[in-house]
Amino acid sequence: MTRTAPAHAVPDGDRVLLGAVRQAAAPAAVLGLATLLSSAAGLLLPAALGHALDLLIARDAAAGRWVALCTALICGPAALDALCDLLGGTTAARSTAWLRHRLLRHVLAAGPRATDRTAPGDLVTRLVGNTADAAAAPATVATAAATVAGPVGAIVALGLISPWLAAAFLAGAPLLFLLLRSFARASTDCAERYQRIQGDIAGRLAEAVTGARTIAAAGTEARERARILAPLGGLSRQGHRMWRIQGRAGARAVTLVPLLQITVLAVAGVLLSRGRISVGDLLAASRYAVLATGVGMLTGRIATLVRARAAGRRIAEVLAVPAVRHGARRLPDGGPGTLELRGVGAVRDGRPVLRDVDLVVPGGTSLAVVGRSGSGKSVLAALAGRLADPDTGSVVLDGVPLPDLTHDELRRAVGHAFERPALLGTTVGDALALGVLDPGREAVTAAARAACADGFVRRLPEGYDTPRAAAPLSGGEAQRLGLARAFAHAERVLVLDDATSGLDSPTEREVGRALAHDVAARTRVVVARRASTAARADRVAWLDDGRLRATGTHAELWRLPEYRAVFGAV
């Protein structure tokens, strides 16, 4: 049965903003207090000016004190406004940092699931731009009371001067309310569309940067540029739409606000002519009419909050991707590294890519996974080392289901190497040592030798201490470094997802010998696209359309024409 959220439930995007507000509570509270004091001083100033004017007209000796008070009420808010600017910047910076850390931690905890649902470029947009927009919420919330207190206090002050003045203003207030509500609704839709198109453009740009060499080789620069910029028209339309919304709101305000102010002044003039108010009251009423119609401040706050809520929803979409959960168990000491897939099934984009796979890789043996493109080889490799979880069935290592293991126990036990490894770290040595534990320079060097990488690394200007950015690598060299990193960390199982495709045949044979004799993890699962790679494995698992079609040695399966066809052989 589908569960429906209660009507009072807070939307996920708003919960993100509330979290940002809570973590910036201290500076936001001081900011709110400072803005309230500034607003209070602003409300007192018209009354003080009016009274001082009456005293000056009457040549009362107390006029000097009231003029001094007016001076203080002018200078005080100026100082408070400077403090508010400082606190506003501090609150926004703190909230931005908190949101970015929270989102980044979650993306890393979710692992490949995050990029399965959101393009990397769009993720960067959410991490950088949307967090900055959402971080404006704490300061906006903190100053909301002062923002509302100004107009409301001004209306109360008009009523204190004369109920007729408040009534004159309130007669047109519903139109002002409708103007603000219309602006908020239209701005919300526009902000959401604008931010989504920004993310789309960023996603396309990231793809193009990653594939820059392919684009250059194909000579499709103009076509790719057009593809990246295709959504720009929609972005422009939403930007112009926002300006039109703001322009219409401004135009209506230009018409409505002066009418309200003129109405208040006209009533005040009548009251003055009848002796019901003083000249000073007239001056105060004119200032309160301006404060009561502070549409510019209100629309600015609304626009900021609208952008923050739209950004909060986009951040919440990423946070909704479940993080990988780990258990508290450890592997039995001395386990051989036996890997079992029991009834494993996986679905991607609504399509089954693995179906009821039952497979055992005995400890200390190697298994080659072969199959045509799209048969599920890489998905099986990801499940074998828990870079993803199966939708059905389970994956077990030495009798322990992978989700039951602690994070560090899992990552020490299983290592991965990929076709295009991401080499992270300041130096080449850092990239090889990257893992839950630093294996030490000797272990890193030994792993590099096993992966046939030690030779070319030592030829770099500073060897293992060469800055990564100063070490241009071929595809094969990058693969060997990826292999070395996996060799240095894995204790029981190595999963190689086409990780030797960039190696020449002699180097691949040397790496194969090292896998059998020089690497701690003796159980290997190898995604194989070459017949020679499959031939070196102890057994082969042949996938066909997501199902395990057959297992056996490469020599046994090679007798089958359909198996030979997987490698393009007749």
Is residue 226 packed enough to be buried (19+ CB in 10 Å), middle (13-18) or exposed (0-12)? exposed
Beta-bridge partners for 414: 493
Position 5 scores a pLDDT of: 40
Between CA 393 and CA 389 the distance in angstroms is: 9
CB-side exposure of 294: number of CA atoms within 13 Å? 22
Between CA 158 and CA 292 the distance in angstroms is: 9
> Residue 268 is which amino acid?
A
What is the average per-residue pLDDT within 303-313?
Answer: 88
Whether 92 shows a pLDDT value over 70: the answer reads yes
Whether 531 shows a pLDDT value over 80: the answer reads yes
How distant is the alpha carbon of residue 254 from its chain centre? 39
> pLDDT class for 251, splitting at 50, 70, 90?
low
> Residue 153 is which amino acid?
G
Higher pLDDT, 237 or 250: 237
Whether 8 shows a pLDDT value over 60: the answer reads no
The DSSP result for 325-340, as a single string, is P--SB-PPTT----EE
Considering only CA atoms, which of 91, 206, 184 is closest in space to residue 142?
91
Position 4 scores a pLDDT of: 38
Which residues, including other chains, have CB under 8 Å from residue 545's CB and lie 6 or more apart?
375
> Residue 126 is which amino acid?
R
CA distances from 224 to 115, 200, 206, 215, 228 (A): 22, 14, 12, 8, 6
pLDDT tens digits, one per residue of 52-85:
888 888 888 888 889 898 899 888 888 888 888 8
Between CA 210 and CA 336 the distance in angstroms is: 40
Lowest mean pLDDT among 6-10, 52-56, 373-377, 557-561: 6-10
Between CA 329 and CA 116 the distance in angstroms is: 28
Q: Please count the other Cβ atoms lying within 10 Å of the Cβ belonging to residue 115.
A: 14
Which value, in Å, is the radius of gyration of the alpha carbons in the chain?
34
What is the average per-residue pLDDT within 516-523?
Answer: 78
> pLDDT class for 295, splitting at 50, 70, 90?
low
Q: Residue length, the chain?
A: 570
Q: Which two structure tokens, joined as six digits, stand for 262?
A: 């003129």
Between CA 388 and CA 300 the distance in angstroms is: 45
Beta-bridge partners for 541: 369, 551
Which residues, including other chains, have CB under 8 Å from residue 392's CB and lie 6 or more apart?
343, 344, 345, 356
Helices 163-170 + 144-161 axis angle, to 10: 130
Between CA 536 and CA 275 the distance in angstroms is: 107
Position 253 scores a pLDDT of: 66
What is the average per-residue pLDDT within 235-239?
Answer: 86
> Residue 14 is which amino acid?
D
pLDDT tens digits, one per residue of 426-444:
898 888 888 877 788 888 8
CB-side exposure of 228: number of CA atoms within 13 Å? 19
Considering only CA atoms, which of 166, 157, 163, 19 is closest in space to residue 95?
19
The predicted model scores a pTM of 0.76
Higher pLDDT, 186 or 321: 321
Which residues, including other chains, have CB under 8 Å from residue 64's CB and lie 6 or more apart?
none
Considering only CA atoms, which of 476, 368, 486, 359 is closest in space to residue 434?
486
Between CA 393 and CA 340 the distance in angstroms is: 11
Region of 360 (left: φ > 0; alpha: ψ -120 to 50; beta: rest) is beta
What letter does residue 474 receive in the DSSP assignment? Answer: -
Is residue 355 within 8 A of residue 349, CB to CB? The reply is: no
Whether 502 shows a pLDDT value over 90: the answer reads no
What is the average per-residue pLDDT within 135-152?
Answer: 85
Q: Please count the other Cβ atoms lying within 10 Å of the Cβ belonging to residue 251.
A: 10
